[in-house]
Chains A and B, each alone.
Chain A
Amino acid sequence: MSLPTESSTVGTDTPWSELGSLMLPAYAETWAMVGIVMVLVIILGGTMGLALFNTDRRGIFPHAQSHATLSWIVNMGRSLPFLVLMAAIIPFTKWVTGTTIGIWAAVVPMTIAGIPFFARLVQNALNDLPKENLSVGLVTGGSPLQIIGATQIREALPALASAITLNTISMVEYSAIAGTIGAGGIGYLAVTYGYQRFDMNVMIATILALIVTVQIVQFLGDRIARALARP
């Protein structure tokens, strides 16, 4: 993708015919970021959500103190606006990835913001399950892992699919915000072309791309959740 230079002419709209070659690589970058982040968020945030639920009263290992600590950490992660979080952890991002720009530099703050968000969504999904599920898991001789697998994750799958949908949409949004610090993706296009160079066509194309993306993600997410639901 071509970077704007000092010599760029302010206010020149990229012709519609060239938008494709400009947008597609950026769009792919956006999805690369969101994809990597969602894998990490589902694994780490999911684990955290399971830990939140299972240390609570209805969990396998109720432990008020551990639960309160976990909950406090999650709240802390959720309390910072993404832009602030992103700026605040730049040293950490640099330490992890060796850089502060590009896809990988965006993945770190997005993952850190996504984990507590997803953890709460998972916790809510599990809280909505019948409270007898734990007893069922125990009296049928389940080990903790079997109980988590059969009576928690599997039973909550439709709600978890919805949680993943919601989280993915948030991450698409965050990736656009990350664009402001040079993360790449269509957010970066919007900032460099649309904002800094008043390129109206890129701006419109970016907005359309985001709208369509969110609609499609939500549509697919709803379809999957419905397919997972049982009578």
Chain B
Amino acid sequence: MIEIRQLHKHYDTAQGRVEVLKGIDLNVESGSITAVVGPSGAGKSTLSHCISLLEKPSSGQILVDGKDLSVLSGKALRAERRAIGTIFQNSALLRRMTVAENVALPLRNLGVIHHEMEHRVAELLARVGLADRANSYPGELSGGQRQRVGIARALALRPRLLLSDEATSGLDPESTAQILELLASLRTDLGLAIILITHEMDVVRHIADRVAQLDGGQIAEYGELRALVANPKSATGSKLLPLRPDLVPAGYDFALTVAYRGNHIDPSWISKLGSEHGATVALLGGSVEAHHEGTLGRVEIGVSGINKERVIEVLDGWGLHATAHSHALGSAAINYETRIEVKV
């Protein structure tokens, strides 16, 4: 279990002090993936550098199984940092080393004896599906393969936490999918705690268990991915499952965002609102995603012929969570712009 407590980080620059992280609290349990998302400049990379112990926090703690690693330096730091495996954005392999040598680097640095090292490297390369590329050089691999070597290197010292800062940005969709599948299997098979720092919501939606939304150096929203998506009021939830509504037709009284989850989603509730409660319902947009624990969905509907509180109550009775929009209907422009903004 990795606990980040009240992490602060500032830089003193010529223009004065820049507060980049303003008290981050984050728990990452073993066997789970926590995604840290946020706009550019939110402090994601700074957080990543602090967690990978490349930068000292200004204050706060980074506890691995109760031990604060953020205060260590020198030899003690080198010994303890093996608890945290880091995956870099562009894989950052050493170009003059073979794949096997790259993976062996952490083992060599810690003085693991030769024959054990060979065995471990072979095991790691098999784990990431690159057993046959041991003697290749990074320059001979695709971006996705290089990133898998990077993951093997990060796993070499059997870390408790795997930290990935934008590991899939710049990869094609197929390689991204492979990397995500690999990370998801590491979570399950090795019980790793994984922190996934990314600006790509697609990545998060597919494998995250929890999501922390970082904004202006603070965690603006944090929770289980499923809970965030199921909460129609959650801004992070709408970014995770952005709706792509058609233009809102005039003549409806109000709009609702309805969130639901389950292993299969029965869409008959839309017609039931009409047949059993006399409402007129227009489906404005929707988004359904497969998640490893079941399906997640959000739809937006325009409603008339029933009052707002009543329809929310009815939906609640069916296990659907709904929230009404504050904006008026009949104004396609406003609605559309709101959606665009939400999709950033």
Instruction: Convert A150-191 into 0s and 1s, putting 1 for each residue whose CB lies closer than 8 angstroms to a CB of B.
Output: 110011010000000000000000000000000000000000
Q: Is the CB of A150 within 8 A of B105?
A: yes
Q: Is the CB of A132 within 8 A of B92?
A: yes
Q: Is the CB of A146 within 8 A of B94?
A: no
Q: Is the CB of A140 within 8 A of B105?
A: yes
| Interface assignment of A133: CB less than 8 Å from any CB of chain B | yes
Query: Among B81, B94, B110, which residue has its beta carbon within 8 angstroms of that of A136?
Result: B94
Interface centre among B82, B85, B105, B137 (most CB of A within 10 A): B105
| Interface assignment of A138: CB less than 8 Å from any CB of chain B | yes
Q: Is the CB of B54 within 8 A of A133?
A: no
CA A138 – CA B109 in complex, angstroms?
A: 10
Contact-size category for A: 20 to 34
Q: Is the CB of B110 within 8 A of A139?
A: no
Instruction: Convert B34-72 into 0s and 1s, putting 1 for each residue whose CB lies closer than 8 angstroms to a CB of A.
Output: 000000000000000000111000000000000000000
Q: Is the CB of B137 within 8 A of A141?
A: no
- State how many angstroms separate the Cβ of B84 from the closest Cβ of chain A: 8
- State how many angstroms separate the Cβ of A127 from the closest Cβ of chain B: 15
Known contacts A132-B88, A230-B137, A141 near B96 by CB under 8 Å: no
| Interface assignment of A142: CB less than 8 Å from any CB of chain B | yes
Query: Among A138, A150, A231, which residue has its beta carbon within 8 angstroms of that of B94?
Result: A150
Q: Is the CB of A135 within 8 A of B105?
A: no
Q: Is the CB of A141 within 8 A of B95?
A: no
Nearest chain-A residue to B79 (Cβ)?
Answer: A141
CA A143 – CA B77 in complex, angstroms?
A: 10
Q: Is the CB of B88 within 8 A of A140?
A: no
- State how many angstroms separate the Cβ of A16 from the closest Cβ of chain B: 48
Q: Is the CB of B88 within 8 A of A135?
A: yes
Q: Is the CB of B96 within 8 A of A139?
A: no
Q: Is the CB of A141 within 8 A of B157?
A: yes
CA A228 – CA B153 in complex, angstroms?
A: 24
- State how many angstroms separate the Cβ of A231 from the closest Cβ of chain B: 4
Q: Is the CB of B92 within 8 A of A136?
A: yes
Instruction: Convert B81-123 into 0s and 1s, putting 1 for each residue whose CB lies closer than 8 angstroms to a CB of A.
Output: 1101110101010111100000001101110000000000000
Within 8 A of B (CB), among A48-68: none
Q: Is the CB of A141 within 8 A of B82?
A: yes
CA A230 – CA B157 in complex, angstroms?
A: 27
Within 8 A of A (CB), among B228-248: none
Nearest chain-B residue to A132 (Cβ)?
Answer: B92
Q: Which residues of A contact B110 (CB under 8 A)?
A: 141
Nearest chain-B residue to A135 (Cβ)?
Answer: B54
Q: Is the CB of B92 within 8 A of A230?
A: no
| Interface assignment of A15: CB less than 8 Å from any CB of chain B | no
Interface on B for A, CB 8 Å cutoff? 52-54, 78-79, 81-82, 84-86, 88, 90, 92, 94-97, 105-106, 108-110, 137, 139-140, 153-154, 156-157
